[in-house]
Amino acid sequence: MKPFTLFTARRALLISAAALAAGCAQQPSSTPKEPVRLMTSGGFTAAHKLLAPQFTAQTGLAVESAYGSSMGASPTSIPNRLSKGEKADVVILARGALDDLAAKGLVRNGTQIDLVRSAVGVAVKKGAPIPDISSEDKLRQVLLNAKSIAYSASASGTYYETQMLKKLGIHDQVMPKSKKIVTERVGTIVARGEAEIGLQQVSELLPIEGISYVGTLPDSVQHYTIFSAGTASTSTNPQGLEQLLKYYTSPAAAKTIRDTGLEPIAKSR
């Protein structure tokens, strides 16, 4: 048996160090990236569902999504979700509602950025006659003739019940046959035949099967909603959040956004 010498001790130490280094090299270089948690209201949902996989493919960052209305008493509305402590990194909803959340401390004030502009559209059940809404007078007559009308509980619906019908001078005649839809898309109600006419953001109508999209409201009574993004007060992933917003405001994302019926208005970051 060979005597244990300083040389053999050093040699053993070097072999052990090399083995340890080789083992470390086989381990993942970093822990899995934290997903970006995003909440969005219906107006931006279709665009988000297309953009999120593209973002993940480009960055390797997963996106955890939650959906709800910009306002209202529904338990799934975004204000209620955040008030109950549900966590998020970024919130996308109508600008007025986002500013309200910032005033309540649920969104970090000063982080709001406008993403898209959304118009209100009209739909009927697939196979039904397509009404002419090309002018204010023709829209007025369509609404007066309709047996039932469905409208959203979110931003476009607030405009419908508080301003649009009054502008048309038919509020008292039309509101009794109008139904505010809280937990479903307006298009879904129309597709089931539970309402003859449906009004909602164009981007919320287009994905619904079983309806025919008629078009947007005439310019004289059109109402555009700005959908904006803000950092939730519970955000723990600023790097992932910034990467997501950079992608969602990029020229590459703009075409996808337009295809869902929205108009991109954000400046590239």
Name the pLDDT band for 14 (thresholds 50, 70, 90): very low
Q: Residue 121 pLDDT > 90, yes or no?
A: yes
The pTM assigned to this predicted structure is: 0.79
- If phi > 0 it is left, if psi is from -120 to 50 it is alpha, else beta; for residue 85 that is left
The C-alpha torsion from 164 through 169 and 172 to 177, rounded to 10°, is -60
Evaluate if residue 19 carries a pLDDT over 70.
no
Q: Where are the beta strands (DSSP E) in the chain?
A: 36-40, 63-67, 90-94, 113-118, 120-125, 149-152, 178-181, 197-201, 211-216, 225-231, 262-264
What's the chain's average pLDDT? Answer: 89
pLDDT band (50, 70, 90) for residue 267: confident
Q: What are phi and psi of 71, to 5 degrees?
A: -155, 180
Boundaries of every domain in the chain? 36-117+226-264, 120-221
What pLDDT score does 135 carry? 98
Q: How far, in Å, CA of 34 to CA of 164, rounded?
A: 44
Q: Encoding tokens for residue 205?
A: 């109508």
CATH: 3.90.79.10, 3.40.50.300, 3.40.190.10, 3.40.50.12780. Which one for 120-221?
Answer: 3.40.190.10
CA gap 76, 6 in Å, rounded? 71
Arithmetic mean of pLDDT, 69-89:
89
- How do strand 149-152 and strand 197-201 relate by DSSP bridges? parallel
C-alpha to C-alpha distance for 171 and 40, rounded to whole angstroms: 31
SS3 267: coil
Q: Which of 16-25, 59-68, 102-111 has the lowest mean pLDDT?
A: 16-25
- Does the pLDDT at position 136 exceed 90? yes
Q: Tell me: the pLDDT tens digits for 173-191?
A: 999 999 999 889 999 999 9
Average pLDDT over residues 156-167: 96
In whole angstroms, give the CA distance from residue 121 to residue 136. Answer: 14
How far is 21 from 104, CA to CA, in rounded Å?
52
Q: Would you identify the CATH topology of the domain 36-117+226-264?
A: D-Maltodextrin-Binding Protein; domain 2 (3.40.190)
Q: Which residues of 41-61 are buried (b: 16+ CB within 10 A; e: fewer)?
A: bbbbbbbbeebbeebbeebeb
* Topology alike, domains 36-117+226-264 and 120-221: yes
DSSP 93: E
Pairing state of beta strands 120-125 and 197-201? antiparallel
User: Would you place residue 33 in the very low, low, confident or very high pLDDT band (cuts 50, 70, 90)?
Assistant: confident
pLDDT at 50 over 60: yes
Mean predicted confidence (pLDDT) in 124-148: 98
